[in-house]
Each structure stands twice: as structure tokens, then as C-alpha cells.
A and B are shown apart, each in its own frame.
Chain A
Amino acid sequence: MDVLGVILWTVAGTLCASIVSLMPALHIYNVSGILIILTMGAGTSTLIPMPYVPVFMMAMVVGWAILNTVPALFLGAPDESAIFVVLPGQKYMMQGRGYEAAALTGIGALAGILAMLAASPVFFRALPKLRHITRPHLFWIMGLIITYMLMSEWPKGSGRQKTGWGRFIDGWKNLGAGLLTFLLSGILGFIILNKPIIPIQYSFQNIMPVFVGLFAIPWVLGNIFCKTEIPPQYICRTADLDVRFWSRGGFGGFLGGMIAAFLPVVTGGIGGFIAGHATAQRDDRLFIISQGASKSVYYIGSFLLAFVPGLELTRGGMAWMLRPFTSAHSYEDYWRIMGVIMLSGGISFFLLLLYSRLVIRLINRINYRSLSVAVLFILLAVVWGVSGIMGLALMFVGTGIGLLPVYYHSRRMNCMGVLLLPITLNMGGVGQHVARFMGLV
């Protein structure tokens, strides 16, 4: 494998991801999955020379992890890992500081990449042991994460009701909505994982319509019906940030991203949330940097773990898709892929600033509601095109569940119950009993 080839395929992967990233609802795993199946279905690549496939795919993941901030922030179409960036990011947008929020996210992503580089020797030594220790305990570790996620939302309620019962109901209204969101999304997850709701010709995308419904559509509907008007955006030349903030936010995000990358099903949003609590982050800037780092470390790190010699850990969609075509990796492979991450990360950061400027120019000229309506139609078209009418039905139900936390003021993260609940129960060996209880057998 020559250096020039690595550089060329890194740039190609990053540019490819930069196009995919701008399309709301298109996830890099969906696109690369289709690409892998169409070009590598026979076991060898017909498009990219086989040795460069991991290089190209890693560049795609890096590009996506950094650049999907643009549609998440400016078009209000976040995926499950970007949802946390959007909340303070929208606040910045409303203050005309959307560009700064995008830049902070990118700066966080670069911090995450540097942290992964610095932690590489630890990966080699500690992760294989950590995996060996945690492997038999994943069921209850996942259970703890779910419990923490649900319980850390307490206490709630304004406390302004006149009677004790009034305050009780006021407090429980939001918590109940959170629990209901988790439960309903979990039931939906059980159904789609146990029954062929989506016609088998679209089965490769069986989870995508639900994710679009849970995370992207509610946000777009909010933009349309809350009559959000974006104020003129200021293109800043400096970020309100110092090294202490950058390293603190980057470390918190790295921690969260690695938790998410190491544990199955846990996404960057959940990992970042746990790490945010663990490192007591309160400042908006810290939060945005940390979520930028967490999101990128989650996406990149989960794929990077597949390259750690002696670890043989498959986490994240890309690692699973490429697993049939790759073998055990050497230290040389690891450092090469780390170089790919750094090169692609650098290019993606500059593309992030460029795309943010372009999109700001676009939303300053076009009515934001009209743009949101256009995004909604793109989402509908993509879901219909990829998964048919049943996909639209699942997306519709997912939207109903995804709107619960928005309009009953609980955490959107509870929607991750769609994967957390069925997979955790399956890990505990009780999934099939639940499926029987639900009459799905």
C-alpha cells in the first residue's frame, strides 16, 4: 500500500462523506452499507482496490462525524448522536452565533481525534483486558446505563401548583412522558427486530425509518410549526474559547465517546451525556465542544477499535459491515489508519467551516420554514424510496413517539429505547421470553 494511494483514498472518502453529510436523513452507515453490498457482494471490491477499502471507509466515517453537524444544526435534522449538539446549538443560532456553534463542534471533534491519538498506547494495553473483564457483565452494565438515563431526569416539575397532588402530577407529568417514550420506543424496537414489518427487499434498512421518525422529523416539525425564524448569522473569526476550556470539553467528550464506542448500542449522545455528568460540565461552550468530541470519538473510535491489535472488538455499523472482508490488524495498520483519521479530520474541519458559511448564506436568503418543509419532503422521499410504504408507516409511529419528549418536556435520549431495551434484554437472555409474551413468536 503506497502513501500516495492512502492520501488519495482518504481525500476521496472525506469528499464522499461531505456530500452524504449534507443530505438530511441519509446516514453514512446506510450509504456505505449499500456501497459495500453493491461493490463487494462477491467478497472482493469492484470499485476501490481492496487494501484501500478500510482507508476509504474510515475517511467516510471521519468526514461524516464532523460534517453532519451542518444539517443537524442549521437544518434541524439531527441523528441519534447529534441530538445533543442541536439543543445548545439552536440557542446559539437564535443569538446569531450558529457559525460559532458549528466551529466549536468541529474544534471539539479535533480535540477528540487528538485524544484518541494520545490514548493509543493505552488502547493497546488496557482495552483487551478491559474487554475480557467486562464481557460477561455487559447485560447489567447496559441495565445500569438505562437506569441512570431514566432516573437522572428527576426531579421535575415547576412546583408552582397550589395543592400537593397538583405538584405531584406536575412533577410526574414529564417523568411519565420520559418513561412512556422509553417504553414505547422499546416495544417498537422489539417488534421490528422480531417481525418482518419492512418488505424483505428493503430489509437492509429496517431500522432507518424508525430512526428518522424518532429523531429527525420531530425536529423539522418543530421548526415548521413553532414558526422559528433564524436571525442573521454572524461569521466570527475567533471562538470564545481558551485552551483550558478546549481541553476540558475535549476530555469529557473523549470519555463519553469512548464509553459509547466500547459498549454495544450506547450512542455518542448517551456517552456524552454520562461523561458530561461525570465531569460536571455546565457551560454551553463546554457542552458543545464536549458533544462535538463525543460524537466524533463515538463514530471514529468504534471503527478504530477494530484496528487495535489483539483487541478484535467489532463495534459500530462500519466495523460490522467490513468485518467479513478484513482480517486481524497489525500495529502498522493501526498507525496508518490513525494517519487517515488525522488527515481526514483536518480536511473535514475546514469543510465544516466552508459548508456552514454556505448554509448560512442559504438560510439567510430562503425562508427557514420553507427550508424545513423541503427537508421534511426529502426525509419522506428518502424513507419511501429506501423502505417503501411500510417504512413510512414505521416512520409515522416513530414520529409520534419522537414528539412526546418535545411536547411533554422530557429527554429525547429516551427514544434510544428502540435499541437499548430489546438488545439489553437479548443480552440478558430474556429477549425471547419477552417476544413470546408479546405474541411475536
Chain B
Amino acid sequence: MSEPPSQSPGLQGLPEETLCPSCGNFVGAYVRCPYCGAEHRRRMSIRFFRIFSMVVSLGGVFLIWLAARGIESPLIKVRDIQPLNAFAYVRVEGEVTRSSSYADGGVSFTVDDGTGTIQVRAYGETGKEMAAAGRVPSAGDRVTAEGTLNFRGGHFTMIVNLPEKVHVRRVDAPTLAIASLGQEHIERKVKVQGTVTGALEFGKGTTYTLSDGVGTIDVVLWHTRRDIFGDRLRLLEPGRQVSVQGRLGEYRGKLQITLDFPGDLREAGPPAAPAAAPASAMAKIGDISRETLKREVVIAGTVVGLRSFSRGTALELADPTGKVEVVVWDSLRRDLPRADDLLKEGAILRVRGIVGEYRDRLQVVPKSAAGIEETTIAE
């Protein structure tokens, strides 16, 4: 009969079942000794925990997954949100009071549920997907949004990660006369009708001028939103009668409507007769003033100066009555035949474009390559 192995120093006093019956080493949770390979079959608790861990982990994750699929995000009132709710995945419902979009495609909007307001944000890719799916609300719309509450700077924001978790119910605003718009309408959704009388491109978007015969207002379309309008952009050509809905804002003391969604731009009647369009007869450069702002003009003159900037070229066009800057965007220059011959000092050009203003300086901006032609002074 063999003697049980003697216990190594430091292992005295350990329960017998934690030691290898063959070599006497401490084997802990092993059923096969890692030192000598002997089987150690009397470890009931180990066998139990092996089965327990496998069943609980597989079964538990499965049950939690099943339960999670059926869990609806709780609806929370803004008034009830407490700091201890940080990181909660919840739902809010209410009216959108403000909506913004960012250069990286992200969007944010403020929801008022009657008890308070909360800002809802969707970053880059999520924002782009929301825009493509028509899930970005504008001021005045009703919205339901699900996301994670984020506590920063003493106030909460909701971060939306999944575009389908934002449901928008568009609410049409009543049609107002342009002249009736005032400060009381700012940050609210408004709808106006009128004729497009001009367009001016600037760095990040285009400003269209809308006139209903009594008043005029600027309608802004950002480049980040332009693509989703597709064919509807034709409705913004000068002379078209349209109905425009969007958030009313103010820029440098002038009211403007921001156009966010294709559905907010509709045809309101047949295109206005060409005669009704703003004058585009040949003008003298000296006649261009703030009175002609946003109007289309045709001017002729000699290029006396040339300056390149990041997105285009500025020509100094002169005739005997004065000088004016003509802005040729790179996108237009690419479509212009013989651009290098035309856009050089000494060239005599006829330019059809919209009168605009940049940093208190008047300028004429051609809308298309056809708006720049070579001519002679005699003409």
C-alpha cells in the first residue's frame, strides 16, 4: 500500500480535494493535474460549476437577448430627467423648435415635449443616413426620437445612433404673405409663396430670392442639403412660382428661410412669363448699385484685373461708367469653353449674372457658363 504524497511547503493545511492525489501539488480547479497529468475525478463542485457556467452563460445570454428584443424604450418627460438617468436609453416625443445640420453630415434638433426642451443629436454617418431617409425634422414638425441620454455641462442631450429610431410627422405651416413675416416668426416654421427672382451662390450654399409682388425674402439652401433635392432644384430657377416651407431665421438683420427638405419646396403655379422676370437688359456697370441687388443684369466690359481665391476667380470688369467685380466659381469655370482665353486681362466680355454683395462690395455672379461670352465694345 502506497503512502499519500507528502505536502509541499506552503501547502500544509489545504483541503485534500484541492491537492493532486498523485503528486501532491495544488491543482485548484483542475480535474487533470497540470504537473503529472493524473485524473482527479472526485471534484463535485468543479463538475457542478463547469455545467453551471456553461448553462448560465449560454442560456442567460439567450434569455436576455430574447427579453431585450421585446423591451420598448421608456417614454420620458424632459422635466423628469435627472442626473442619475445619464446613459439611459429612452424615448422623447414632442414638437421640434429648432433644427440644424453640420458640415460633417451630423444633425441636431431641439424637442419641446411641453414640460421642457432637450437637444437631440446624430453624428456624421447617422446624420447622413437620417437625411437620406427624410428623418431630419424641421421646426414645427412632431418627432419621436430614441437614444442615449448624455449629461454634459449641467444639461442633457440625447444621442441618436440609429436613423430608424427617429420618426418624423411633418406639420405644414399656414401660408403667410412675405411682407407679414416679422421677428415673432423667427425660429418657427413658415410657408410662403412667390416667384424666384434671383440666386446668389456663396461659400457654403445658395441664396435664392423669392418675391410675391409685395415683399421679398431670401431662401437659403446649404450645399450639404443640395444633393437630396435632385430634380426639384429646377423649381428654383428664376421665374418659377414656388411654395417654400422652412425655418425662419435672421442673418445680418435680414429675414431668411432655410430650406431643408425636398418636400418643403413645391411648384405653386406655371412659370412666370419671361417679361415678368426681373430686367436683364444690357446695363452699364455704373448703374449697378444696391438697388439692383439680387437682380439679373447683363453687362459688358474689359477685364482690367484678375484675382484667384480658394474656390474661384474674381475678374475686375470695367466699362466707361465704372468697374465691378465678376465672380467665376471653379465649378462654372470648368464648364466654360476656352476659359483661359476669356478669363485674362484685356479680354472683352459680356456677362449675365446676379448682382450680389460680399464684404460691402458689389459683385456680379454668373449662374452658368453661358453667362460669359466674348464680345466687342461696339456691340
Cβ < 8 Å to B, chain A residues 394-431: 394, 396-397, 399-401, 403-404, 406-409, 426, 429, 431
Within 8 Å of chain A (Cβ to Cβ): is B90? yes
Within 8 Å of chain B (Cβ to Cβ): is A435? yes
Are B85 and A197 neighbours in the complex by a CB distance under 8 Å? no
Are A158 and B76 neighbours in the complex by a CB distance under 8 Å? no
Are A196 and B45 neighbours in the complex by a CB distance under 8 Å? no
- Rounded to whole angstroms, the CA-CA distance of A20 and B26 in the bound complex is 34
- A96-B10, A324-B154, A409-B30 as given contacts; A200 in contact with B74, CB under 8 Å: yes
Contact digits for A232-259, partner B, Cβ 8 Å, 1 yes 0 no: 0000000000000000000000000000
Q: Which residue of A lies closest to B165 (CB)?
A: A441
- Rounded to whole angstroms, the CA-CA distance of A44 and B69 in the bound complex is 39
Nearest CB in chain B: distance from A223 CB, A: 11
* A residues in contact with B26, CB < 8 Å: 94
Are A403 and B162 neighbours in the complex by a CB distance under 8 Å? no
Are B151 and A396 neighbours in the complex by a CB distance under 8 Å? no
- A41-B83, A94-B10, A227-B17 as given contacts; A324 in contact with B64, CB under 8 Å: no
Are A231 and B10 neighbours in the complex by a CB distance under 8 Å? yes
Cβ < 8 Å to A, chain B residues 212-243: none
* A residues in contact with B86, CB < 8 Å: 37, 203-204
Are B165 and A195 neighbours in the complex by a CB distance under 8 Å? no
Within 8 Å of chain A (Cβ to Cβ): is B14? yes
* A residues in contact with B58, CB < 8 Å: 184, 400
Are A439 and B162 neighbours in the complex by a CB distance under 8 Å? no
- A158-B32, A196-B74, A200-B88 as given contacts; A38 in contact with B64, CB under 8 Å: no
Contact digits for B358-374, partner A, Cβ 8 Å, 1 yes 0 no: 00000000000000000
Q: Which residue of B lies closest to A195 (CB)?
A: B68
* A residues in contact with B165, CB < 8 Å: 441
Taking a contact as CB atoms closer than 8 A, the residue among A34, A196, A227, A396 that contacts B71 in the complex is A196
* B residues in contact with A19, CB < 8 Å: none
Within 8 Å of chain A (Cβ to Cβ): is B55? yes
Within 8 Å of chain A (Cβ to Cβ): is B29? yes
Are A404 and B162 neighbours in the complex by a CB distance under 8 Å? no
* B residues in contact with A231, CB < 8 Å: 10, 12-13
Are A200 and B56 neighbours in the complex by a CB distance under 8 Å? no
- A200-B74, A441-B165 as given contacts; A407 in contact with B56, CB under 8 Å: no
Are A227 and B18 neighbours in the complex by a CB distance under 8 Å? yes
* A residues in contact with B55, CB < 8 Å: 400
- Rounded to whole angstroms, the CA-CA distance of A157 and B67 in the bound complex is 37
Nearest CB in chain A: distance from B266 CB, A: 33
Interface residues on A, range: 35 or more
Cβ < 8 Å to A, chain B residues 1-47: 10-15, 17-18, 26, 28-30, 32, 34, 37, 45-46
Q: Which residue of B lies closest to A44 (CB)?
A: B154
* B residues in contact with A130, CB < 8 Å: none
Are B10 and A95 neighbours in the complex by a CB distance under 8 Å? yes
Q: Which residue of A lies closest to B88 (CB)?
A: A203
Taking a contact as CB atoms closer than 8 A, the residue among B18, B65, B82, B152 that contacts A324 in the complex is B152
- Rounded to whole angstroms, the CA-CA distance of A323 and B86 in the bound complex is 14
Within 8 Å of chain A (Cβ to Cβ): is B53? yes
Are A201 and B84 neighbours in the complex by a CB distance under 8 Å? yes
- A96-B10, A394-B64 as given contacts; A203 in contact with B71, CB under 8 Å: no
- Rounded to whole angstroms, the CA-CA distance of A344 and B185 in the bound complex is 58
- A324-B154, A393-B64 as given contacts; A227 in contact with B84, CB under 8 Å: no
Are A191 and B49 neighbours in the complex by a CB distance under 8 Å? no
- A96-B10, A160-B37, A200-B85 as given contacts; A400 in contact with B52, CB under 8 Å: yes
Q: Is the interface of A mostly helix, strand, loop or mixed?
A: helix
Are B65 and A323 neighbours in the complex by a CB distance under 8 Å? no
Cβ < 8 Å to B, chain A residues 38-55: 38, 40-44
Nearest CB in chain A: distance from B231 CB, A: 30
Are A204 and B87 neighbours in the complex by a CB distance under 8 Å? yes
Q: Which residue of B lies closest to A429 (CB)?
A: B125
Point out which of B53, B55, B149 has the most chain A C-beta atoms below 10 A from its C-beta.
B53
- A43-B154, A324-B153, A440-B68 as given contacts; A397 in contact with B87, CB under 8 Å: no
Within 8 Å of chain A (Cβ to Cβ): is B54? yes
Are A188 and B64 neighbours in the complex by a CB distance under 8 Å? yes
* B residues in contact with A41, CB < 8 Å: 83, 154
Point out which of A200, A426, A439 has the most chain B C-beta atoms below 10 A from its C-beta.
A200
* B residues in contact with A32, CB < 8 Å: none
Contact digits for B88-99, partner A, Cβ 8 Å, 1 yes 0 no: 111000000000
Within 8 Å of chain B (Cβ to Cβ): is A226? yes
Q: Which residue of B lies closest to A33 (CB)?
A: B86
* A residues in contact with B60, CB < 8 Å: 396-397, 400-401
- A188-B64, A394-B64 as given contacts; A195 in contact with B71, CB under 8 Å: yes
Within 8 Å of chain A (Cβ to Cβ): is B375? no
* B residues in contact with A324, CB < 8 Å: 151-154
Nearest CB in chain A: distance from B37 CB, A: 5
- A222-B29, A226-B29, A324-B152 as given contacts; A38 in contact with B83, CB under 8 Å: yes
Interface residues of B (CB under 8 A from A): 10-15, 17-18, 26, 28-30, 32, 34, 37, 45-46, 49-50, 52-61, 63-65, 67-69, 71, 73-74, 76, 82-90, 125-126, 149, 151-155, 161-162, 164-165
Q: Would you give 19 A-B contacts (Cβ < 8 Å), ordered by A?
A: A37-B83, A42-B154, A44-B154, A94-B11, A194-B89, A196-B74, A200-B76, A203-B89, A206-B88, A226-B28, A228-B14, A229-B13, A229-B14, A231-B12, A323-B152, A324-B154, A397-B56, A426-B161, A440-B69
